Amino acid sequence: MAHTFPIRVYYEDTDMAGIVYYANYLRYIERARSDWVRELGIDQNAMRRDDGVVFAVRRVEADYHHPARFDDELEVRTSVVTVTGARLVMDQRVLRGEELIFSAQVTIVCINETGHPARLPANIRLMLH
């Protein structure tokens, strides 16, 4: 099931043409992932403290389909594609109504305090399946 997260486009999100600046879509999908993780009951501060790991974006493959503009009401839909011992692949889509505006496949990994790859904690892998 997809997680949904509403976004309103503010003036500060747009460029001189009134179109959402391309990098802001990465902010939108990051906020949606953070909200989704929180709703799952995953405490990222506790994960860092107790397990010594944090989530990090490893890869983003993105497509811009249509422009969003000032005051648009958008929705970010996030769903899990794949979960392995060390990686989580997510599909994220930004829509205006049912019109696809932006899509991305995001690979998330865990890293330890030294920045090296680490396995996803088992309890979190179970939540994501």
The catalytic residue positions are: 15
pLDDT for residue 124: 81
Rg of the Cα atoms in the chain: 16
98 Cβ contact list (under 8 Å, min separation 6): none
CA torsion sign for 7, 9, 10, 15 is: positive
Q: How far apart are CA 41 and CA 18, in angstroms?
A: 37
The strand pairing partners of 100, in sequence order, are 95
Reduce the secondary structure of 12-65 to three states and give it as a string: HHECCCCEECCCHHHHHHHHHHHHHHHHHCCCHHHHHHHHCEEEEEEEEEEEEC
Q: How far apart are CA 97 and CA 110, in angstroms?
A: 33
pLDDT for residue 17: 93
Give the model confidence (pLDDT) of 60-114 as tens digits.
Answer: 999 999 999 999 999 999 999 999 888 999 999 999 999 999 999 999 999 998 9
Domains of the chain by start residue, with CATH? 3-128 (3.10.129.10)
